[in-house]
Amino acid sequence: MEVSFSKEIEKLRLGDGETFHGEGILAVTKALLQSGVSYIGGYQGAPVSHLIDVMVQATPEMSELGVHVEPCTNEASAAAMLGASIMYPVRGAVTWKSIVGTNVAADALSNLASPGVMGGALIIVGEDYGEGSSVIQERTHAFAMKSTMWLVDPRPNLPSIVNCVEKSFELSETSNTPVMLELRIRACHVQGSFEAKDNIAADVSTTRRLAEPAPHNYDQLAHPPVTFNQERLKSSERMQTARDFIQAEKLNELFEGTQSDVGLIVQGGLYSSLMLALAELGLVGTDGKCELPILALNVVYPLVPDELVEFASDKKAVLVIEEGQPEYIENEISTLLRRAEVSTKLAGKDCLPMAGEYTSEVLIAGVGKFLREHLPKIGNSLKDDEFADEVDSLRKQASELLSEPVPPRPPNFCTGCPERPFFTALKLAEREVGSFHYSADIGCHSFATFAPFNFGNSILGYGMSLASNASVASFQEKRPVAVMGDGGFWHNGLLSGVTSRLMNGGDGILVIMKNGYTSATGTQEVISSPNTQIKLASAEKSATQDETTIEKALKGVGVKWQRTVHTYKVSQMRDTLLEAFRTKFDGLKVIVAEGECQLERQRRIKPIRSKALARGERVIRTRFGIDEDTCTGDHSCIRLSGCPTLTVKSSSDPLKTDPVAHVTNGCVGCGLCGEVAHAATLCPSFWRADIISNPTWWDRLKASLRGYVTGLKTA
């Protein structure tokens, strides 16, 4: 059972004049339908996973509008979908997590941007930058500049976001150029409302098919010699057309202020954080207006020279607020102003940090520094120093109340996660074979890089773990180990890792965590997921379609040595790993570690259990515990498991000074603790209990008899 978006889907039906309430990413979804898209594709990833998830679950609603929705196997296949807009007047949108997703899609995007598009092409990227990020700290801006695609960075409120989505299609069609719209984490999840419009059914769609394909037009192919002319068109005609459209439609917003000597130029996505900072500095009135003029760039590439020159020319100094590095916007504005012979002082990274997220606290310090230097009559009266002192005071107060540092809480596997027992088995195998090179991958299994497992020599990309140790295998005696999930396997690993290693005859061990879903991005379906919504829908179209499994794919490409082991069979998994390390077989060895994602399992089981309890039916819940009289306080079980519910508590025995192991009531009954104790030959202190709700008369009789016998033994 997947996460349900039924309430969100209902909002997609809102019509003209009705009010949409919700979060940013869902507003984008509604805006796409109001724009008359013909197709939507994408690959999930924070912070934009909801967009494609909602669209998939809203398949009936999408069918009514004739919108084709396709969850893609990776970002490259999503980007390639936009090829439909090159020669056809159809609007299409794709989405993924940036910057890692954009890197995967780079080949298709470059070849899309060169010839340009006829229909509107929109790429919605989750700009996962800053303290809440889960990836490398890079920005989309560099890619947009490199490939000459326009980059929209809307102010983080729903009306602005919706307007930018709709105008981006017009901008794309007017300038024949793909448009990237970056949504920061806060923009994706900001709550708000906007006045909805009717959804538009596209003129070309699944319900309004074209009778004939587009005629051949060599000028629209990304192929020499026409690519040379395409480069010229990108930097001249398309660029100027885009600038004219941006200026005419007022996509960038000017907010006048009472102080005309200085001004602020800010990326649209940072506008709300800036206003919070200015309010803290006392520069925002009760009417919400700021004393300083602000130019909010909802389109950060291309910049419009006339707008910037007009804004800066009558000011002594302007501060450019651009998050991250290098300072692309600041450098370009500097060039434009110098060419226009505007002598206004330009500040930016000299007042603000070169890297890192621009929180309100950071902006308060940066704007304060700028104003003290360039507008001393206001800058010298600011209380930003007092604000900094207040923050420091609160931190000291929190530290005193805590009395000691807060224990670190690194990311961890979920309770009952089927990947944890595999790493327990790998830890046990390490005791016998010694240390080895371990290539980690993107996904839940990367949590094994933290304690208590501490595995990992590199993380180089989604599905790239096996490829990343290809050269390591050539100069080490011990076979390197690579781990990837089934999501990473289908995303990239099969081709870049498995087939490459087979082609080159390389040795090594690959473990594929087969939990049934792309769990790290929200448990979306993959081609090998069992009985999923997408799979059932495709089965209706092709009733004879065979089930696709990872094992069949491995056999099909020529893997000779492969084993499938359930992850909770710790002893068997350990022995299989030892076999892979010690076998004389020279070549790729693949272990498929099978075990359903615990989150999905709980989502499936809990509703069934709740309904059964409501009906008064007999329900059994299994949980484990520890006999503290037997526990020695060695805690090896914790070091080999790391389960969040396996912890310690003070012993009730006054002669035991060390804390004993303890299982909290959050236990989901996976049995790993007992398996670990058995496989590692630890103390026999674990017990299992079946908790029965709504017991039958037979259950009650057995419980009474057991209690009676136990009482006799105690006596």
Task: Report the percent of the chain where pLDDT is more than 90.
Answer: 62
- pLDDT score, position 240: 97
On the 0-12 / 13-18 / 19+ scale of CB atoms within 10 A, 126 is buried
Contact 513, 443 (CB under 8 A): yes
How is residue 528 annotated by DSSP? T
- pLDDT score, position 538: 52
* pLDDT, mean of residues 449-461: 91
Residue 444, Ramachandran bin (φ over 0: left; ψ between -120 and 50: alpha; else beta) = alpha
- What the chain holds in terms of domains, given with CATH numbers, is 15-199+217-247 (3.40.50.970), 252-402 (3.40.50.920), 419-600 (3.40.50.970), 619-714 (3.30.70)
* pLDDT, mean of residues 40-66: 88
- pLDDT score, position 1: 40
Q: Can you point out the beta strands (E) in 595-685?
A: 619-626, 646-649, 660-663
Question: Could you read off the pLDDT of 264-292 as tens digits, one per residue?
Answer: 999 999 999 999 999 989 999 888 889 99
646: pLDDT confidence band, cut at 50, 70 and 90?
Answer: confident
How is residue 153 annotated by DSSP? -
Question: Could you read off the pLDDT of 243-260 as tens digits, one per residue?
Answer: 999 999 999 999 999 998
Question: Could you read off the pLDDT of 420-452 as tens digits, one per residue?
Answer: 999 999 999 999 999 999 999 998 899 999 988
- Name the more confident of 336 and 546: 336
Nearest residue to 104 via CA among 88, 132, 123: 123
The alpha carbon of 263 is separated from its chain's Cα centroid by a whole number of angstroms, namely 35
Question: Could you read off the pLDDT of 357-370 as tens digits, one per residue?
Answer: 999 989 999 999 99
631: pLDDT confidence band, cut at 50, 70 and 90?
Answer: confident
- pLDDT score, position 541: 47
Rounded Cα distance, 322 and 357, in Å:
10
* pLDDT, mean of residues 179-199: 94
Least confident of 143-157, 397-411, 486-500: 397-411
How is residue 284 annotated by DSSP? B
* pLDDT, mean of residues 129-144: 86
Rounded Cα distance, 385 and 680, in Å:
58
Q: Report whether pLDDT(309) > 90.
A: yes
Question: Could you read off the pLDDT of 67-95 as tens digits, one per residue?
Answer: 999 999 999 999 999 999 999 999 999 99
Q: Report whether pLDDT(544) > 50.
A: no
- pLDDT score, position 576: 97
- Name the more confident of 356 and 657: 356
Q: What share of the chain is helix, strand, coil (3-state, %, to 5)?
A: 45, 15, 40
Q: Report whether pLDDT(713) > 70.
A: no
- pLDDT score, position 543: 46
Strand partners, 663: 646
Q: Report whether pLDDT(122) > 70.
A: yes
- pLDDT score, position 403: 75
